[in-house]
Amino acid sequence: MADAGDAGALAAAAPQDVPRGAHEVPARTAERENAAYQPNSEQAKTGKAKETKAKEPRVGSFWTRSEAFFSNQGANLATLALLIALDICMATWGVWEFTAPHWTTESKILRYTLPIARGAGRLVSWNAAVVFVTGSKWFWTWVRSTPIQYAFPVDKVMPKYHRLIALTIVIAGCVIHTVPQVVNYATEAIVINDGGPVWTFGAGFATLQLLITGILLLVVFLLFFATTLEKVRRSTIGFRIFWLSHVFGIVSAIPLLIIHGTQRGYPITVYFLAGPLVLYIIDVIMRRVRHAAREATVVHISAHEDGEDRVTKLILQVPGWRYSAGQYADIRIKEISVWEWHAFTIASAPNDRGEATFFIKAAGRWTGALWELANSATATDAESGSTAGIVGASLRGGFGAPAQKFSAYRHIVVIGTGIGVTPLLSVWHHMVDETRILMRDESLQDADGLSSAGSESTWNAPELPELPLAEEEQFVLDHGDMAFTDVLGFERVKRTTMTARGRVAYMASILESMTVNISLFLISILLETLVMCVWIFEKGVASAAIEIVATLLVLFIYVPKVILSGASYGKRYIVSIIFVMELAIVAMTVASLAASIADAISPTRLKAILYFSFYGVYMLAHTVRIFFIYYATARPPELLEAENVRHTKLDEVVSRRSNEGSRRSVDPLGHDFSMQGIWVNKTYTGMSWAAEDLAESAKSLPRSFSLQLYATRDKPETVAKMDPFDRSRCGPQHELIAGRPDWHKIMSAAILRAHRGSPNHGSTVGVFYCGAPAVARELQSVAHRVTAEHLFEVKNQMLRDKKVQMCTCRVLVAKENF
């Protein structure tokens, strides 16, 4: 375990020609970074973390806190707001169809029940279409390979949004739509008419076929809901029912929805389903073509058991098969079922052999049966992991997962709890393999001089001039990224030291901040939803009044933004794509304002449509503008010359496949890279199925790699006897620790490492987590806090030293389920 002496030795051994200030980060860097790897005194005594409420320190201004929050949650909030707004509009449309004056009834019951039932029915039809989009696996795997991933919460599409939308269908269809109809039939407000046509053209709404299709849909939706419950899915036959209900439900629900939702001869559901269903069909075809099922050879299978935990290690080989680190694949074992496919995260690094390693916890019928097969194979040949008893295996994938985005960051923290360690294993081994390729090439080490301290600066961000604090505003104006000028950069300057131009640029940065833009987007969605609902009920003047408020709000933000940015940055701003987008936002909003004023004076359908068209284009332009903000802060660092050199050298090494050369332990990635793996489990013996391989991979790695294994229920004296790391070849940053991790200390150390690697412009820490949802929520909260604390501390450090550091360091958390 590292101590203060080790931290001092590491600092002394650091190259001396890295950018000035690279190691002069906020105070107590070494101590805080070292503390992140150590349990507190209470843990050291008992092996358990002391349950104390963390003291909330002051973390700076409103901007440091809000920008940290919206960096992590802004895209998710915007997407959820858009989904909710569309649901509200669809439900309002349905309610309007059965309200006066265009629809009247003498029945006092139907006057209330039918609008509610129709509104819920419209929700079902709409969400039934959207759920097909969220279920398109190949499509979202492709999205992960595009820049969209930096601004859209792709990680939450499956399963979070998919489940949310499906739950909306169940509640709207089985409760909100069904209860009013039961009241109608029970009170005989509606009498069954068995002579009505299938396509209910005319006045015939309550025909027998509507009752029959409604009952069948109720059964299908309830079956959907029941089989998705975890206790059901993990039961003896639960997953088979779950799988069959999805297949049967998709095939049966679509025609039932079309028939049941047809009104006066118009199949409304078809209009909703047409596009998403075509996308889903194309997605299924692409999955069969691009990710076709392939017969796999079972290279190794073995069973591991620790108390109640049973884990199967399975290695499959498909020659020529390719996948990316962090992805998952579907597996079929014919001995267990010829129909069932189950998704599991790949735990190995991509390789030329086409091999993929899986660690599968026995948690249900299928996984339990696999463990039994593995156990019998292990008993037959415990050493080689015989494939005895396995008839055949098939594989398809790989499919996109949150951990796949790790390559977008230079500072990576991969966390796994229990069996959730599998993404960590894949990413860790991939980065280790890439690093060892560089380390073992003698020509790269000697000819380019990487083994000398003086040349390691090649692997660091280029040195930027340190300016007096009073000149920071000029530095931002001359060198700032036009896509996003961080308000926090100006926050570090005292207002009294700013020039007039600096104050103008600061005001522009406020209007450009994530806080303002995401808030404006959310308010715009809210107001536009209100406009749409009021307009649907034919309240033209009222909707026009709200339209005017919505457009004036946008103009209040973006007209000053364009003027202030133009005054601050001049030609740099005018010739940028950002100016074009912001000018488009202003132009479309002005057009919307003109249409809304005209609509208020003399309401017509055409004027309202013109307003919605112009405002829709504004929303699209604003979405693109927000994307640029996220892309500017979350994209991979610019491919600097040194990075281009590194990848060129790597390609040369890979092509030569040189096995010769020095084995000296150097750090080819330098201080602008760090990789930390954290595995949390109840006991160390419960990690035995992968811990030894991890410890073996840690040998002779650069200091930028660190690995911590936390055994939460083991005692320190027990852990001391089980240390899997070879201390002659593993640094002190690789540890087996008794107790729980302190996430605040760990993330604080990670953001300090990112700051040290890029002290003049900052860097983003990518945290990838797989495990229990409770820990995921804690990590999100800690990430917000640590980001705000770090920015506040950097600001104070700058004011003390009177030197500029354009730090925009952030901690972003991506999570996935088991």
How confident is the model at residue 689, as a pLDDT?
87
Give the mean pLDDT of the chain. Answer: 76
Measuring CA to CA, which residue among 170, 105, 98 is closest to residue 131?
170
User: If you average pLDDT over each of 564-573, 601-610, 670-679, which comes out highest?
Assistant: 601-610
Inter-CA distances, 418 with 71, 691, 708, 710, 743, Å? 28, 12, 14, 10, 17
How confident is the model at residue 324, as a pLDDT?
86
Measuring CA to CA, which residue among 611, 614, 613 is closest to residue 595?
611
- Residues in CB range of 769: below 8 A, 6 or more apart: 414, 415, 416, 420, 775, 776, 779, 813, 814, 815, 816
Inter-CA distances, 543 with 351, 535, 546, 547, 608, Å? 60, 6, 5, 6, 9
**How far is the C-alpha of 410 from the C-alpha of 786, rounded, in Å?**
18
Q: What is the DSSP string of 625-679?
A: HHHHHHHHHHSPPP--HHHHHHHHHHHHHHHHT---S------TTGGG-EEEEEE
Q: What is the DSSP string of 551-619?
A: HHHHHHHHHHHHHHHHHHHTHHHHTSHHHHHHHHHHHHHHHHHHHHHHHHHS--HHHHHHHHHHHHHHH
Task: State pLDDT tens for residues 175-200.
Answer: 999 999 889 888 888 777 655 555 55
Q: Check if the beta carbon of residue 808 is closer than 8 Å to that of residue 762.
A: yes
What residue spans define the domains of the chain? 62-289, 293-400, 423-437+673-757+761-816, 482-633
Q: Does the bond joining 502 to the residue before it have cis omega, within 30 degrees of 0?
A: no
How confident is the model at residue 61, as a pLDDT?
65
pLDDT at 142 over 50: yes
pLDDT at 264 over 80: no
How confident is the model at residue 469, as a pLDDT?
41
* 3-state SS assignment for residue 356: strand
pLDDT at 451 over 70: no
User: If you average pLDDT over each of 156-170, 198-212, 290-304, 640-654, which comes out highest?
Assistant: 156-170
Q: Check if the beta carbon of residue 358 is closer than 8 Å to that of residue 344.
A: yes
What is the rounded average pLDDT of the residues 646-655? Answer: 40
- Residues in CB range of 657: below 8 A, 6 or more apart: none
- Residues in CB range of 788: below 8 A, 6 or more apart: 59, 60, 64, 65, 68
Provide the pLDDT confidence category of residue 444 given band limits of 50, 70 and 90.
very low
Task: State pLDDT tens for residues 278-328.
Answer: 999 999 888 888 877 888 888 888 888 877 788 999 999 888 888 888 888
Determine which helix (DSSP H) or strand (DSSP E) holds 718, and give its type and residue range: helix 716-720
Tokens 């890295």 -> residue: 18
- The percentage of the chain sitting over the pLDDT mark of 90, rounded to a whole number, equals 19
**How far is the C-alpha of 344 from the C-alpha of 359, rounded, in Å?**
8
How confident is the model at residue 10, as a pLDDT?
30
How confident is the model at residue 753, as a pLDDT?
85
How confident is the model at residue 574, as a pLDDT?
86
Name the more confident of 481 and 220.
220
How confident is the model at residue 467, as a pLDDT?
40
Name the more confident of 620 and 570.
620
**How far is the C-alpha of 534 from the C-alpha of 638, rounded, in Å?**
47
Q: Which two tokens stand for residue 687?
A: 């990690």
Inter-CA distances, 222 with 165, 176, 212, 257, 656, Å? 15, 14, 16, 15, 59
How confident is the model at residue 759, as a pLDDT?
65
**How far is the C-alpha of 22 from the C-alpha of 460, rounded, in Å?**
10
Q: Check if the beta carbon of residue 279 is closer than 8 Å to that of residue 139.
A: yes
Q: At what angle do helices 208-228 and 162-171 cross, to 10 degrees?
A: 140
Determine which helix (DSSP H) or strand (DSSP E) holds 814, and give its type and residue range: strand 810-816
Q: Enter the pTM of the model.
A: 0.73
What CATH superfamily classification does 293-400 receive?
Translation factors (2.40.30.10)
Tell how strand 342-345 and strand 411-417 pair up: unpaired
> How many other CB atoms are found less than 10 A from the CB of residue 51?
7
Provide the pLDDT confidence category of residue 678 given band limits of 50, 70 and 90.
very high
Provide the pLDDT confidence category of residue 387 given band limits of 50, 70 and 90.
low
Task: State pLDDT tens for residues 3-51.
Answer: 333 333 333 333 333 333 333 333 333 344 444 434 444 444 444 444 4
Provide the pLDDT confidence category of residue 549 given band limits of 50, 70 and 90.
very high
Torsion-angle region of residue 28: left (phi > 0), alpha (psi -120 to 50) or beta?
left
Q: Which two tokens stand for residue 769?
A: 């987590």
Residue 323 phi/psi, 5-degree rounding, is -155, 170
How confident is the model at residue 614, as a pLDDT?
93
pLDDT at 691 over 60: yes
How does DSSP classify residue 319? T
- Per DSSP, the chain holds a count of helices (H) and strands (E) of 28, 14
> How many other CB atoms are found less than 10 A from the CB of residue 496?
5
Task: State pLDDT tens for residues 692-717.
Answer: 888 888 888 888 888 999 999 888 88
